[in-house]
Structure 1
Amino acid sequence: MTDRVLMKGNEALAEAAIRAGCRHFFGYPITPQTEVSAYMAKRMPKIGGTYLQAESEIAAINMVLGAASAGVRAMTSSSSPGISLKSEGISYIAGSDLPCLIINVMRGGPGLGGIQPSQADYWQATRASGHGDFQNIVFAPSTVQEMVDLTFQAFDLADKYRMPAMMLADGMLGQMMEPVSFPEDYTPIQADKSWATNGHQNKRPHNIVNSLYLQADELEQLVVDRFARYEQVKQNEVLVECENTEDADYIVVAYGATARIAKAAVKAAREKGLKIGCIRPITVWPFPTEEIAAAAEGCKGFLCVEMSMGQMVDDVRLAVNGKVPVSFFGRTGGVIPTPAEVLGEIEKMAGGDR
């Protein structure tokens, strides 16, 4: 690893993408992710890459589709309303079985909302990032260093499974500064890209990248095959962090920046003698269903903490499958929950055991 350097989250993520082999970035400015685009605008011309500020988010995602079709590592970034505009193009990319990386530095909503941090795009990222039957691999970092590390992994897994990967960050992570280091010996995964439309020189048949199939049975088979690949992702690529769950009476589940707050509350609860554990999904798709289900066998209840009115809590309840109660605490609209508030909810949940 390189020596540690103090960097803003958005800029660290952009530098990681460059070091992961991304040479084609297409974007459009929107707070709180604009530093990703600004950093790429400075760096890409110096390394022979392509930076293009598109005329709209819709144009940017379709430029990603075009670049990804040629087999290169391509990326776009935006914040919540911009991702909504990209949703049609994301579906085209998934329907064309193309790898790419999409960054969402979430802000408050709905509508234009505000520029403060939020996690209210969870449903969009994991269930409805575009029309039709498809999934994205969705990473949810909780530190600037993890934004760096997961960027490399996102590009690799997108290539490995020929599908879009998404980084689901938020305004707090994008704007905070922390020391980070970058791998010095990274080698991209050697994925088969014989499908790429990168020139055939009369040495092979033409490759066609397409998401339009007018015969229903042909399209059905393609979708079924795609979901078989998604099952491989579920089996092999779940990332989750479990802390103090072995003896926990109650378990807090949180992801991203909110998990940092939740961990502080869990630590304070432990100091008060409460047996509290913490589960942090690092991939929110695929979701760590098995890990949460296993934890439900030995605890009395869960508390899901989010910067939303409650979205991931649905997946927690599905994983728990009614074995124990699942409570929820959230702040929304850009309001960040405090450790004291979360501790209060933990004490309320565990009140009968005191």
Structure 2
Amino acid sequence: MAEKVLMKGNEAIAEAAIMAGCRHFFGYPITPQTEVAAYMAKRMPKMGGTYLQAESEIAAINMVYGASSAGVRAMTSSSSPGISLKSEGLSYMAGSDLPAVLVNIQRGGPGLGGIRPSQSDYFQATRSSGHGDFHMIVLAPNNVQEMFDLTVEAFELADQYRMTAMILGDGMLGQVMEPVDISRGEAASNVTKDWALTGTKGQRKRNVINSLYLEAEELEMLNLKRFEKYADVEKIARTDNYLTEDAEVIIVAYGICARIARNAINEARKKGIKAGLIRPVTLWPFPKNQLKTAAEKAKAFVVVEMSMGQMIQDVELSIRCSRPVHLCSRTGGMVPTPEAVLEAIENAAQAERS
């Protein structure tokens, strides 16, 4: 029988990381993700691991850089302003092709903003997580069980592709408590890390972890090779769909907004409006092929997000603007209501009839 435990989303992430074989956590407290660090502070020493509260977010990401260079599974977590401070280290890790897991439990912004939930770091996660040409894998859970499951998967994908994998949640998912099946969390790395800095022991050439290349031709070659890898990563793009088989109005939402959208879709169906949901589970790579296919039947799209409109651009690009795309959003820590989403569905359906 499955072992279920009542956990906060933040706690589920931390427990999943431990069960995935992470024994090195470096962080810095910031609401609304502090429970991740607090949980690690209690559990990691008992597991024979390392918990270290760094002097800053900048220090934390560079500690992850060092631990990952040694071939171990390492992780850090923060919230929106803290992720910005980590951006230089994230770029260095990408330039060194190092695997790690990064957690962002988003809060409202810009600036210090507020501690309520937000999705306004979408651009940062999928486009501008640091300087230079690189990507991170970005996974978007929408319940506490997925906070657990996707964290385990994040470590596996990070090792497989030698990339940073991000869990992109929000303050609401981080704080909500739900039953979690933790029985499927064991996942040790089976990837051979012959590039790691483990000491030569006189048996091999020394390894070098580096992101500095002064010869332009060499750096170009490395970037081109890295983007060949990114093209391979595109195959992991996936969605979770709800009532899309006959949907004429398709909602696109991730995270907590997807849960709100499902309620609105059910009410729309009662009113005779054929609405459905496409929930991107991977935000990078974005599931553009799935959306392009959906656009062949759907008449309109409604994007629901807690920002001024960021993911909507990827939706429009994916379908090449072949269908109208409407935005239903709140920002600054405000959460869309099912009633507001239902109204957006009704307006989109009405616009297609007129």
Deviation sequence 1:302-328 (CA, Å, 0-9, x none): 000000000000000001102111111
Alpha-carbon offset, residue 211 of structure 1: 0.4
Cα distance in structure 2, aligned partners of 1:283 and 1:33: 21
Query: 1:226-237, aligned counterparts within 5 Å?
Result: 226-235=226-235, 237=236
What's the counterpart of residue 95 of structure 1?
Answer: 95
Alpha-carbon offset, residue 216 of structure 1: 0.4
What's the counterpart of residue 194 of structure 1?
Answer: 194
What's the counterpart of residue 164 of structure 1?
Answer: 164
Alpha-carbon offset, residue 168 of structure 1: 0.2
**Residue 223 (structure 1) aligned with residue 223 (structure 2):** yes
Cα distance in structure 1, aligned partners of 2:43 and 2:72: 18
One-letter amino acid of the structure 1 residue matched with residue 218 of structure 2: E
Task: Provide closer, same or farther for how the CA distance between residues 184 and 330 of structure 1 changes in structure 2, counting only shifts above 3 A.
Answer: closer
What's the counterpart of residue 338 of structure 2?
Answer: 339
What's the counterpart of residue 28 of structure 1?
Answer: 28
Cα distance in structure 1, aligned partners of 2:188 and 2:237: 20
What's the counterpart of residue 266 of structure 1?
Answer: 265
Query: 1:253-292, aligned counterparts within 5 Å?
Result: 253-292=252-291
Task: Provide closer, same or farther for how the CA distance between residues 288 and 30 of structure 1 changes in structure 2, counting only shifts above 3 A.
Answer: same
What's the counterpart of residue 13 of structure 1?
Answer: 13
Where 2:93 maps in the other structure, the secondary structure is helix
CA RMSD of aligned residues (A): 1.1
What's the counterpart of residue 37 of structure 2?
Answer: 37
Deviation sequence 1:82-119 (CA, Å, 0-9, x none): 00000000000111000000000000000000000000
**Residue 303 (structure 1) aligned with residue 292 (structure 2):** no
**Residue 126 (structure 1) aligned with residue 141 (structure 2):** no
Cα distance in structure 1, aligned partners of 2:9 and 2:328: 26
Deviation sequence 1:147-190 (CA, Å, 0-9, x none): 10001110000000001000000000000000001134733341
Alpha-carbon offset, residue 192 of structure 1: 2.1
Where 1:173 maps in the other structure, the secondary structure is helix
One-letter amino acid of the structure 1 residue matched with residue 191 of structure 2: A
One-letter amino acid of the structure 1 residue matched with residue 29 of structure 2: P
Cα distance in structure 2, aligned partners of 1:193 and 1:239: 27
Where 1:65 maps in the other structure, the secondary structure is helix
Deviation sequence 1:186-215 (CA, Å, 0-9, x none): 333411200000121111111100000000
Cα distance in structure 1, aligned partners of 2:189 and 2:238: 18
Query: 1:138-177, aligned counterparts within 5 Å?
Result: 138-177=138-177
Where 1:350 maps in the other structure, the secondary structure is helix
Mark the runs of 5 or more structure 2 residues left unpaired by the alignment: none
Cα distance in structure 1, aligned partners of 2:188 and 2:289: 29
Cα distance in structure 1, aligned partners of 2:274 and 2:185: 41
Q: How many residues align?
A: 353
| 8 Å Cα contact 2:10/2:175 also seen in 1 | yes
| 8 Å Cα contact 2:196/2:207 also seen in 1 | yes
Cα distance in structure 1, aligned partners of 2:59 and 2:185: 35
Mark the runs of 5 or more structure 1 residues left unpaired by the alignment: none
Cα distance in structure 2, aligned partners of 1:48 and 1:90: 26
Q: Which runs of 4+ in 1 moved over 4 A?
A: none
Identity of matched residues, %: 63
One-letter amino acid of the structure 1 residue matched with residue 334 of structure 2: V
Alpha-carbon offset, residue 239 of structure 1: 1.9
Cα distance in structure 2, aligned partners of 1:184 and 1:105: 23
Cα distance in structure 2, aligned partners of 1:238 and 1:184: 22
Cα distance in structure 1, aligned partners of 2:185 and 2:176: 27
Alpha-carbon offset, residue 296 of structure 1: 0.4
What's the counterpart of residue 71 of structure 1?
Answer: 71
Tell me which moved more, 318-327 or 134-143: 318-327
Deviation sequence 1:207-246 (CA, Å, 0-9, x none): 10000000000001111000000000002x1121122112
Task: Provide closer, same or farther for how the CA distance between residues 184 and 256 of structure 1 changes in structure 2, counting only shifts above 3 A.
Answer: closer
| 8 Å Cα contact 2:3/2:183 also seen in 1 | no
Alpha-carbon offset, residue 2 of structure 1: 4.1
One-letter amino acid of the structure 2 residue matched with residue 195 of structure 1: W
| 8 Å Cα contact 2:305/2:329 also seen in 1 | yes
TM-score (ref. length: structure 2): 0.98
What's the counterpart of residue 243 of structure 2?
Answer: 244
What's the counterpart of residue 208 of structure 2?
Answer: 208
What's the counterpart of residue 330 of structure 1?
Answer: 329
Where 1:228 maps in the other structure, the secondary structure is helix
One-letter amino acid of the structure 2 residue matched with residue 255 of structure 1: Y
Cα distance in structure 2, aligned partners of 1:267 and 1:203: 63
Cα distance in structure 2, aligned partners of 1:136 and 1:249: 33
One-letter amino acid of the structure 1 residue matched with residue 276 of structure 2: G
